[in-house]
Every structure is written in C-alpha cells, then in structure tokens.
Amino acid sequence: MTDQYAVIGNPIGHTKSPLIHGLFAEATQQAMSYVAIEGPLDPDVGFERVVRQFAAGGGKGMNVTAPFKLKAFALADERSERAILAGAVNALKFESGRIIAENFDGIGLLRDIEVNLGVPLAGIRVLMLGAGGAARGALLPFLAAGPAELVIANRDVSKGEALVAQAGSRRAGLRACGYGDLAAMGRFDLVVNATSASLTGELPPVPPSVFSPDGTAYELAYGKRLTPFLRLARNAGAHGVADGVGMLVEQAAEAFVWWRGMRPQTGAVIDRLTVPLD
C-alpha cells in the first residue's frame, strides 16, 4: 500500500512541497503519495476535522504551513522541544491514534547555512532580525551550533527579551535589542532576516553597518530575487547573499527523515528550485 502524506495550508496553490517530496520519494524509491490540501478557514468546518479525517483515512504525516502552525501545535498530543519553544509546528506524524508534532524550520535553516553555504556558526557573531515564529523556530538549533554571540533585534524589544528568557540556561551570548541599538554594535558575520518585511517588498530598519565584508546575509523568503534586505547587504559589501530556498528544501528533508527513516539528497532539488537573485 502507498503511504499517504500531505501539506495543509491556505492558500496552498503556491506550495512546492508536493514537488519536493515527490523528488525525494523517487530518489529514495519510497512508495508514498504527497498531496496539497487547502485547509478550511471557516472555524465551523475546522482545521482539526480535516487533519483527523486525513489520519483516519490512512495518512501517515502532514506538513503544516500558514496559517495553521499554531492550530497544529494546539492539536498535537506530543510536541518536540523545538516545537514547544517555537510555539508552532510545521510537521505532524500520526502513530497509534496520536498526533506527534515537530518544527523543522530552524534545523532546516541551520543546515542550509552550515552545510550548503559553508558558514559554520561556531564562534561567530550572528544577528537575527525579528522575534516571531521564524526566529523562535531557529533559536535552539542556532544556540546548539555555538555562536560567540546571537543578537535578536526586534521593533518590540520586550518580545525579543521574552524569547531570550525562554531559552533559559542555554542563553550564553544571547541577547535582545531594538533596531535603534544596532548602529553601535558593529559588524556581524551572519545576518538573518526572519521578519516578514520582504514578503511585501519592505526593508527592516537595519543599518548597513551590521554587514561584514566577509559575512553572509540570509533572507528567509525565497523566489523573490534580490529583496530590499539582500540588496542592502550587497550594497554594504557583504560577501555572500542567499535566499531561503535551501531552507525550504532542508526542512522538507528533515520531515522526510522523520517519516521515512532515511535522508534524501537535497542538492539537486535545491538547484531545481533556485531562482537567480539578479
């Protein structure tokens, strides 16, 4: 029997997940199907009902995208530490009537940066722009990689400070600040835009002085070519600029490993989905 998987979101027409997992399944010779499901926004229909129906019909797992990551968190019977810190999940697994939840966004981001881009975080200065769900998902994997310093900059400083406090004993070198504080903080080896600004063509209020000539600027949005953030970084002399297509593929690979017990190769899939920045 072919195992069934899906991604659920709304809207969902833009998703690359069926293509990515289809390529993974083909490369690893896995008997599985993967479809996109447009989840209901109507609370009377219910996100929970759709998920439970998919599981009851033989579904083995689901990816979860906007706007259902918080609902999926609430629905789960069991959550990973990464999911708990993020307060959101992007992958579900159905086992013995239980719903198990994970968040692979952060570990997928870290793998793209360290493995694909060749930028180890150990001992470097890292700046994360934003303190929302994307930053929360990245926090534990980033801290585990051992940066010398990890600064979270956010318009609402208290939100960043709450995230720092939630990290608890793992917060050595971790601090929060406002965007206005960045001009006095010097250059960072890695600057990650985890805000939603680029989705609307806007630019976070970050000074050019944060970018190092030998450093890297990473944009979580993908397929939008040279966003205002990446353009600012390039004009400021940053050595490397990258968008989030690699993160997209790597987080999918993490879910694939979780579901199927084997890691697919990601390089060819990333190359297939990459849109030139220029």
Is 15 annotated in some ligand binding site? yes
**What is the rounded CA–CA span in Å between residue 278 and residue 276?**
6
Is 31 annotated in some ligand binding site? no
Neighbours of 184 (CB within 10 A): 9
Is 26 annotated in some ligand binding site? no
**What is the rounded CA–CA span in Å between residue 233 and residue 188?**
11
Is 17 annotated in some ligand binding site? yes
Which helix (H) or strand (E) element contains residue 36? Answer: strand 32-38
In the sheet where 174-177 sits, what is the strand order? 174-177, 149-153, 125-129, 188-193, 211-219, 240-242
Nearest to 99 by CA among 46, 53, 141: 53
Strands 59-64 and 240-242, by their bridges, are: unpaired
What residues are labeled active site? Answer: 69
Is 267 annotated in some ligand binding site? no
Is 179 annotated in some ligand binding site? no
Is 81 annotated in some ligand binding site? yes
Is 106 annotated in some ligand binding site? no
Is 90 annotated in some ligand binding site? yes
Binding residues for shikimate: 15-17, 65, 90, 105, 222, 251
Binding residues: 15-17, 65, 81, 90, 105, 130-134, 220, 222, 244, 251
